[in-house]
């Protein structure tokens, strides 16, 4: 199995750096607005057009921490209209999260590929991973909400991360890991065989996630993934990426 590289970008120009640098998924978000800050429609549509289907594109709907079902449902529907392949939705612990999951199942039924983002520093254990598969989600990832406090591996043991990946994949979900990942985290996490690893800060000059994407930093991360022994072949894209490009969302 090949572990892919998700690169979070903030502009169309950054999307092109990521594409040329070998990203497997280009993820559109605004880190200045939080862990899952949303970008404006024009930037998203322009980036989707520029990528032109060469790799899947995902986008976040924002840090909607109040978990109001109607608001999240509207945000997902609106984001899907921008033409992205995956829509990422943060799930925060609380009494309304089940209602949100139920509301989003209708979007999944329409063919919108949803990826749930759980936060390792915000009670992710309160969620039952198979519930997302039952609701029709395409994937699930574990991230960190509070940046600057170390990577996901400093907050959750590798053994528990391995359990998360296995549970997600066993439920038929794509499994992603992210959260202030550094070069030194790549080999240990790829050994857990997630479907993809997500990066932002490590791709920016000085490791500052709100700064601009840096081609040299990007190349170092891409090289570290390659050197892990899981380099994707020139003739083969990861299964999850090939599926996304072959079967566009029904909007």
Residues marked as catalytic:
29, 88
Token pair listed for 116: 């749930």
CA distance 28 to 17: 13
Cβ-based neighbours of 170, under 8 Å, separated by 6 or more: none
CA distance 79 to 59: 7
Length of the chain: 251
Token pair listed for 140: 């699930």
Contact 221, 183 (CB under 8 A): yes
CA distance 65 to 92: 6
Token pair listed for 132: 């997302």
Report phi then psi at 210, rounded to 5: -90, 0
CA terminus-to-terminus distance, the chain: 30
Alpha helices in the chain (DSSP H): 12-21, 41-51, 69-80, 97-109, 129-134, 158-170, 183-190, 215-225, 239-246
């Amino acid at each position: 199995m090949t572990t892919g590289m998700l690169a979070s970008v903030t502009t169309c120009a950054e999307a092109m750096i990521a594409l040329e640098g070998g990203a497997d998924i280009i993820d559109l978000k605004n880190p200045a607005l939080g862990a899952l800050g949303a970008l404006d429609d024009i930037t998203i549509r322009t980036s989707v057009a520029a990528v032109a289907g060469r790799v899947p594109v995902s986008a976040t709907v924002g840090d909607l921490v109040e978990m109001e079902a109607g608001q999240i449902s509207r945000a997902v529907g609106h984001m899907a209209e921008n033409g992205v392949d995956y829509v990422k939705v943060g799930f925060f612990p609380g009494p309304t999260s089940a209602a949100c999951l139920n509301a989003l199942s209708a979007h999944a039924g329409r063919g919108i590929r949803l990826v749930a983002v759980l936060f390792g520093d915000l009670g992710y254990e309160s969620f039952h991973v198979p519930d997302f598969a039952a609701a029709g989600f395409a994937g699930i990832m574990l991230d960190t909400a509070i940046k600057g406090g170390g990577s996901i591996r400093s907050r959750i043991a590798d053994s528990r991360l391995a359990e998360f990946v296995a549970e997600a994949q066993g439920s038929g979900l794509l499994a992603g890991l992210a959260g202030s990942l550094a070069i030194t985290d790549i080999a240990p996490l790829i050994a857990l065989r997630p479907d993809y690893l997500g990066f932002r800060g490590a791709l920016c000059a000085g490791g500052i996630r709100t700064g601009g994407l840096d081609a040299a930093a990007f190349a170092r991360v891409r090289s570290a993934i390659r050197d892990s022994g899981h380099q994707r072949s020139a003739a083969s894209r990861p299964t999850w990426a090939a599926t996304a490009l072959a079967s566009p969302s029904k909007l």
